[in-house]
Structure 1
Amino acid sequence: HYLDFALSLRAVGETTDVELFVHVHGYDTEWDLRRVDRPDEPFFPPEYRAAARALADRAWFLANSRCVLQRLAAVGVRVDRSAYCPFGIPVPPAPPARPPRTRNLRILYLGRLVDCKGPDLTIRAFERACEQGLDATLDMAGDGYLRTTCELLRRRSCFADRIRLLGAVDAATGARLRAESDLFTAHNCRGPLTGQEESFGVAVVEALGAGLPVITGRSGGVCETVQSGVTGLLFEPGDVEAHAAALLALARDPERRAQYGRAGHAFVRRTYAPEQRWPALRATLGLGPPPGDDRAPLNAPDATTRSRTPASTPAPATAAPSASGATAP
C-alpha cells in the first residue's frame, strides 16, 4: 500500500520473482505535492516520478479511483500495468429513517481537517447559510493541521454555539454521527497549501452509503462518487456562496434529501459493497472467484483483469453511476 512506501522497499522486490502489486491511494500520486509546514518545498524528491515509472516494469499498480489512474498515465506509468481497483465500503442493508424536518437539522463534516477537504471553507459556508436563515448545527469530526484554524473560526463566529469540533472519532462514533445527521458536507478543493486534491474520499462514500445527501466541491475523485442532482450537490471549489446556497436548498427540501439519500445508498451498495469488490479484486489479482463461489463479479466490466485495463478510457464524471493513512499532508 502507497507508492512512496513501495519505492522504499523496491530493493526487496528485486530479490524475488513473486508478482508485486502496489495499491496507490492518492497523495502518493500527487506529483507536485507540497509540504504543509513549508508550502514552497516539494513533498517528494525530484526523482519520484521516474522511480514510479520504473517500478511499473516490475509491479502492477492498483488505483482506488479513475482520478488516480489518470495521474499515473499522465506521468508515463504504463497503462498496461495499471488497473482500476476501488475500495470496498461496508454498507448497511437500508439507510436509517430520518425525520422530514426543516428546522434543527444536523449537518456533518467527517474527515481530516486538511486543506483539500476545506473545513475552514465549510465553517464559512455554514455561517453564511445561517445568516440567511439556516436552522441547523454543524458537527465537525476529525483532526488535522487545520484544527487550530477551525477552532479560531468557530470562536469568532456569531454562530459558535451551533458548531462543534469533535476531534478524531472511532468507527462506531462515525457510524452514529452519520445515522443522526441530515446532511453531509465538506468543501473539497485543490489545497492552497499542499496542492492536494481528494483522490477518492472514503468518508464521502460512507456518507452516501448511510443515505446522507452529500454537498461538496467539484474536485478530484469526489466527481466519480457524488452525482450532482442525483445523490447530492456539487459546487465550484472556493465558492462559499454556492456552498451556502446548497446547504439552504437541501435544508428546506426534506423530500429531495430523502430522494438523494436513497439514490446514494443504492449506488454505494451496487458499486462499493465488499461483496461486489472482493470478486473484482480477486479477478484483478488473477485469483479467480473466491473459494466455493463460481459466480462472475456482479460489476463485470469493472472487474479489471491484468490483461485488460480501463486506464485509457476512464468514465466521465457525469456518467450514470458506475464503479467508481500513511501520514501525508
Structure 2
Amino acid sequence: MMKLLMLFPSLKIKSEWIFRLIENLGGSIAVIGTNEINTERIKTDQLNINPFYSKILRRINEDLNSNFTYPTILLKAEKKENTNINYIHFIGYAIKFKTFIRKSKNPTLIHCHGKDVMWDLKDIRTGIPVHPPEYFKSLEELSKDVYFIANSQFTRKQLLKKGVDESRIFINHFGIEIKEKLITPINNKTFKILYLGRLVDFKGPLETIEAFERACQLGLKGELLIAGGGEMEDQCREKINQSKYKDRIKLLGWVNKEEAETLYQQCNIFTAHNKVDAYTNQVEAFGVTIIEAMSFGLPVVTGKCGGVEDSVVDGVTGFLIEPGDIGGHAEKLIQLYNDFDLRSRLSANSVDRIKDHFSLEKERNGLENIIKKISNKSTSLKNA
C-alpha cells in the first residue's frame, strides 16, 4: 500500500492545483510536512516542520535546520506513519532536506513544476539569477539518490540538460476533473474570448490584447475577458485604456475556483500568448489553466513554447502560433470566430484529449505506477 510522506513549502496558496492533487491522492498521503499548515482546505494530517526553535537556528546558521531539525522531525514521522516513499515538491525545497533524504529508509521522489527547472531564471526586480551556484551543486548531488517527476516533456528536457540520468525521470501530467460543456450555437454579439492566468510576461497578456485588437479590425465582434492578477496588471490596464476596443476588453482581477468555472462555461475560446519571459527567462512549464479550459470544450490559441505543447495539439484541439506573431494569433482568433464547425470540432477534440491524457484517474494511476517502479528499483539495489 502506498503511504506518502509529502513535503510542500506552503499549503496557504491561491492556486487550486495543490488542493486537487491532495484530494486526488486521497488516503495515499499519510502526512504532509509544510511550513504553513491549512486545516480549512486540507483534512490530511499535517506536520509543522518549522517549530519555534528552527527560527532561532536559522538566524545562527540555516544548515543547522537542514542537518538537525528537519531530519529529526521527518525521520520520526516516517517511523510513526510507516511511510514507504518521500514525495517532495520542487527541487529548491528538496535541497533543504538533503540530510533527511540520505538518512531515510525510503526512496525519494522530487516533483518538478516549473521555476525549479528554469536554470537561467532571473529575479524580475533585480535581474539577478534566482538559482545560485550552490543550487546546481546540490541538484547534482541529489540526482544520484532521488527520482524526479517531470510535469511535461519540457521539464524532462531541462533535467536532462543538467545531467540527470533519464532512468531517474518520469513524466506524469497533472490531472483534472472532466467538466464537459454543451456546445450550442453562440450569437456573435455574445462571443467571448478568455484569458485566465497570472498577468506575467511569459503568458503574454499584452500580446493577447494586441492580437484581440487586430482580430477586431478583421471583423471579430466580441469580448476579451482577462481574469488574473500579477506584476503586469497596471500595464494591461493602461493598454486597455488606450485601445480603440477598450469597451470590449474587461480586466476582471483574481477569480476563485467557482468564478473561473463560470468563465469557462461562458466563453468560446481560451487564449494566451505563451513565450519566453523577456525579463526573467521563464516559460510555461505546463499550463494548468489550459487543460482546465480544454476540459470545458474551449479551443486554445497560444504560443508554441514550453510545456504547452504537451496539451495543445496544433490544428486538433486549438492552434499554436510562433511567439511574437501577433498577426498569426489574430488570424486564428478570427478563424475560430467565423467557423462554427471548426470550433465545434476542436471543442470536442479538446474534451476527448483531457479524458485520454489529463484526467484525475490518469494522474493517480501514473503516480502509483511511478512509485511501484522506484520501489522495485530500491528493493533491487538493497538486495544487490
Q: TM-score, normalised by structure 2?
A: 0.72
The answer as to 2:101 corresponding to 1:13 is yes
The answer as to 2:327 corresponding to 1:241 is yes
Larger Rg: 2
Alpha-carbon distance between aligned partners in 2 of 1:55 and 1:46, rounded to the nearest angstrom? 15
Preserved contact between residue 275 and residue 304 of structure 2 (Cα < 8 Å): yes
What amino acid is the match of 2:131?
F
Alpha-carbon distance between aligned partners in 1 of 2:310 and 2:357, rounded to the nearest angstrom? 11
What amino acid is the match of 1:35?
D
Preserved contact between residue 284 and residue 306 of structure 1 (Cα < 8 Å): no
Which residue is equivalent to 2:211?
125
In the alignment, structure 1 segments of 5+ residues that lack a partner are 288-303, 308-329
Which residue is equivalent to 2:191?
105
What amino acid is the match of 1:6?
A
Q: For residue 305 of structure 1, report the CA deviation from its aligned partner.
A: 8.8
Which residue is equivalent to 1:47?
134
Alpha-carbon distance between aligned partners in 2 of 1:235 and 1:114, rounded to the nearest angstrom? 19
SS in 1 for 2:238: helix
In structure 2, do the counterparts of structure 1 residues 156 and 275 end up closer, same or farther at CA, with 3 Å as the change threshold? same
Alpha-carbon distance between aligned partners in 2 of 1:152 and 1:269, rounded to the nearest angstrom? 39
Q: How does 1:309-328 map to 2 (within 5 A)?
A: none
SS in 1 for 2:277: coil
Preserved contact between residue 100 and residue 255 of structure 1 (Cα < 8 Å): no
Preserved contact between residue 183 and residue 344 of structure 2 (Cα < 8 Å): no
Which residue is equivalent to 2:166?
79
Which of 28, 33, 57 is 2:116 aligned to? Answer: 28
What amino acid is the match of 1:217?
G
- Stretch of structure 1 that moved more, 6-15 or 263-272: 6-15
The answer as to 2:345 corresponding to 1:259 is yes
Q: For residue 66 of structure 1, report the CA deviation from its aligned partner.
A: 1.2
Which residue is equivalent to 2:236?
150
Which residue is equivalent to 1:177?
263
Q: What is the root-mean-square deviation in Å for CA atoms of aligned residues?
A: 1.6
Which residue is equivalent to 1:116?
202
Which residue is equivalent to 1:167?
253
Alpha-carbon distance between aligned partners in 1 of 2:186 and 2:246, rounded to the nearest angstrom? 25
Q: For residue 129 of structure 1, report the CA deviation from its aligned partner.
A: 1.2
In the alignment, structure 2 segments of 5+ residues that lack a partner are 1-88, 378-384
Which residue is equivalent to 1:312?
none
Which residue is equivalent to 1:2?
90
Q: For residue 168 of structure 1, report the CA deviation from its aligned partner.
A: 1.1
What amino acid is the match of 1:138?
L
Preserved contact between residue 211 and residue 261 of structure 1 (Cα < 8 Å): yes
SS in 1 for 2:170: strand
The answer as to 2:152 corresponding to 1:65 is yes
In structure 2, do the counterparts of structure 1 residues 126 and 231 end up closer, same or farther at CA, with 3 Å as the change threshold? same
Preserved contact between residue 95 and residue 262 of structure 1 (Cα < 8 Å): no
Which residue is equivalent to 1:199?
285
SS in 1 for 2:273: coil
Higher relative contact order at CA 8 Å, sep ≥6: structure 1 or structure 2? Answer: 1
Alpha-carbon distance between aligned partners in 2 of 1:144 and 1:255, rounded to the nearest angstrom? 36
Q: For residue 11 of structure 1, report the CA deviation from its aligned partner.
A: 2.9
Identity of matched residues, %: 36
Preserved contact between residue 117 and residue 189 of structure 1 (Cα < 8 Å): yes
SS in 1 for 2:195: strand
Which residue is equivalent to 1:213?
299
SS in 2 for 1:221: helix
